[in-house]
Structure 1
């Protein structure tokens, strides 16, 4: 699997969320940015499990992505974050990302992987990024695909 292409596809999929009127559009990157324009989604760390099937037939990558929301109004920021972390709805990152699974029988992420699944949300807390504090959380995404090119 092409890790950077997968990271980019996940960032692209996250942009499909529809945020409420008056809220800035979600920005996203495939990498940890130097600075963010909140609300911002980025793909951060990942772990790879090789050889989940014989002869390099399958690898599994677990990505940890972060969503950061500005704290100008803490209650509104928490409400926005909670809506993006929900399991369904137009503001749900889980819903937006899992659309990239494709139709039944299709490969995920435009052919980059066999499948993906948003596993969980964790670390709902304050984050400091480039000297600024944000309310945020981590989203763990499992991607499976061919181990050999």
Structure 2
């Protein structure tokens, strides 16, 4: 699997969420941004586990992604995070990203991987990013696919 196209495909899948009225559109990127415009989702660190099956059959990528609601510590930013981190609904990152798994028998992320799964969401907490502090959470996404490509 090639890491860069997978990063971008995860970000594209996340970008389709619809946030609550008055919040604006989610800024979604496959890479750590230099500066943040909230609300924001980005694909951060990656852990690569090679050779999950013999003969370079399957590799596993584990991405740590972050969702930031705002720099304010108020109920509205926590409500935005609640919507993004819920298991379902129009603002659910889980629902949007896992929709990119494709139909049964199809490859995930437009053919880039065999499958993906959001393993865990942890937060809320304050994140320091480029000298500013944001209220946010982390999402851990596991992607499996062909190790020979």
Q: TM-score category by the smaller chain?
A: over 0.9
- Which residue is 1:116 aligned to? 116
Matches within 5 A, 1:41-120: 41-72=41-72, 74-120=74-120
1:26 pairs with 2:26: yes
- Structure 1 distance, partners of 2:130, 2:20, is 26
Give 1:72 deviation, angstroms.
3.6
Give 1:131 deviation, angstroms.
1.6
- 1:74-102 CA-to-partner distances (Å, cap 9, x unmatched) read 11001110111111111110000000000
TM-score by length of 1: 0.97
More moved, 37-46 vs 65-74: 65-74
Q: Tell me the number of residue pairs that the alignment of Structure 1 and Structure 2 aligns.
A: 149
TM-score by length of 2: 0.97
- Which residue is 1:134 aligned to? 134
- Structure 1 distance, partners of 2:69, 2:123, is 14
Moved over 4 A (4+): none
Give 1:69 deviation, angstroms.
1.2
- 1:86-126 CA-to-partner distances (Å, cap 9, x unmatched) read 11111110000000000110000000000000111013201
- Could you list the runs of 5+ residues in structure 1 that have no partner in the other structure? none
- Which residue is 2:12 aligned to? 12
- Could you list the runs of 5+ residues in structure 2 that have no partner in the other structure? none
CA contact (8 A) 2:73 2:135 kept: no
Aligned to 1:101, the other structure's residue is in SS state coil
Instruction: Quote the RMSD (CA, aligned, Å).
Output: 0.9
